[in-house]
Structure 1
Amino acid sequence: MAQPNLTLIDALRRTAAKLQKGAPYQWGHMGSCNCGNLAQELTTLTKAEIHEHALAVGRGDWQEQLNDYCPTSGLPMDLLIADMLEAGLTSSDLQHLERLTDRRILERLPREKRYLRHNFRDDVILYINAWADLLEEQLLNKIKLPNLEEIEEGVLA
């Protein structure tokens, strides 16, 4: 699972909010699909640039792009994927995002909402928000605050 961090959580929340407000969404378009919309938030690339990078390689959808990813190729699509991985994602995260299949995320949803359709905007928004919530909880759980007694002892000493 992704490394929880503020940049990634914020990008997920921005992605879901933009989709909610009607941002272009087309599952068959590499720049405006599930991963493409997140890529727009994690990079400075537009949907058209992302799609162009993908077509230049000619490897198919995000699943195939990720299977063939080579961090040293210098290809624009591989550089884009590298940027997304640097943000704390894994290849597996992106593959799950494209199909809305990560069980850890799906288990957080009410039972009747766990069978998501990967090419339906509302299901993508639900999945991304649940993922952001999960990462935020994981990040907050890493923060250890001193208890009140330790604080008072430090102030009084």
Structure 2
Amino acid sequence: MKEIKAELIAAIERTAKKLKNGAAYQWGHMGACNCGNLAQELTSLSKAEIHRFAMERSGDWNDQILEFCPTSGYPIDLIIENMLSYGLTLDDLGHLERLSAPEVLAKLPFEVRNNLSQNRKNDVILYLETWAQVLRERWEKQTPAFDLVQNEKKFISHALS
């Protein structure tokens, strides 16, 4: 993770909330899977648009991440580049798709962490909520106390929208 941004934390929380409230989830669909749902939130593209753009090149999100080239001209690379502009790394995206970031898993009880399934909606929601918590804690440590009040107002505004 690069510098943690409040906008990213808010987007992760909104993604989890949307999934909880019934947003489409389908792990095999590039626009409705783990990364696809976060991409919808960060890019304002629909699941259909993300899926269509991703299908211009073969492979799932893990393949797309491995083949990422910001100058390729492929729309999926523009989507990934946009996601990276929020402070994500390619590793973060790979971990999201597999629910595998060590710092996120460490926050989960052992029995939960060992039974996570990357294609189970409730597990994705739990992972997103926990990831947002981990990022928020790190963000608060990296943000000087002087800036916390202003950033907190922005964060709350984004989280509620």
The TM-score normalised by the length of structure 2 is 0.87
Q: Distance in 1 between matches of 2:9 and 2:85?
A: 14
* One-letter amino acid of the counterpart of residue 23, structure 2: A
Helix, strand or coil for the counterpart of 1:56? Answer: coil
Q: Distance in 2 between matches of 1:127 and 1:109?
A: 9
CA RMSD, 1 decimal: 1.1
Q: Distance in 2 between matches of 1:17 and 1:124?
A: 11
Q: Distance in 2 between matches of 1:77 and 1:145?
A: 38
* One-letter amino acid of the counterpart of residue 114, structure 1: R
Residue 69 of structure 1 corresponds to which residue in structure 2?
Answer: 68
* One-letter amino acid of the counterpart of residue 31, structure 1: G
Residue 96 of structure 1 corresponds to which residue in structure 2?
Answer: 95
- Can you give the 5+ residue segments of structure 1 that lack an aligned partner in the other structure? 147-157
Match status 1:119 vs 2:119: yes
Number of aligned residues = 145
Match status 1:80 vs 2:75: no
Superposition deviation, residue 3 in structure 1: 3.0
* One-letter amino acid of the counterpart of residue 55, structure 1: M
Q: Distance in 2 between matches of 1:41 and 1:2?
A: 19
8 Å contact kept, 1:2–1:93 = no
- Can you give the 5+ residue segments of structure 2 that lack an aligned partner in the other structure? 147-161
Deviation digits for residues 28-67 of structure 1 (CA, Å, limit 9, x no counterpart): 000000000000000021000000001112x210000000
Match status 1:144 vs 2:125: no
Q: Distance in 1 between matches of 2:78 and 2:143?
A: 32
* One-letter amino acid of the counterpart of residue 120, structure 1: R
Superposition deviation, residue 2 in structure 1: 4.7
* One-letter amino acid of the counterpart of residue 129, structure 2: N
Superposition deviation, residue 124 in structure 1: 0.3
Runs of 4+ in 1 over 6 A off after TM superposition: none
8 Å contact kept, 1:30–1:51 = yes
Residue 130 of structure 1 corresponds to which residue in structure 2?
Answer: 130
Match status 1:53 vs 2:53: yes
Q: Distance in 1 between matches of 2:25 and 2:2?
A: 23
Taking the TM superposition and a 5 Å limit, the aligned residue runs for 1:21-32 are 21-32=21-32
Give the structure with higher Rg (CA). 1
Q: Distance in 2 between matches of 1:127 and 1:3?
A: 20
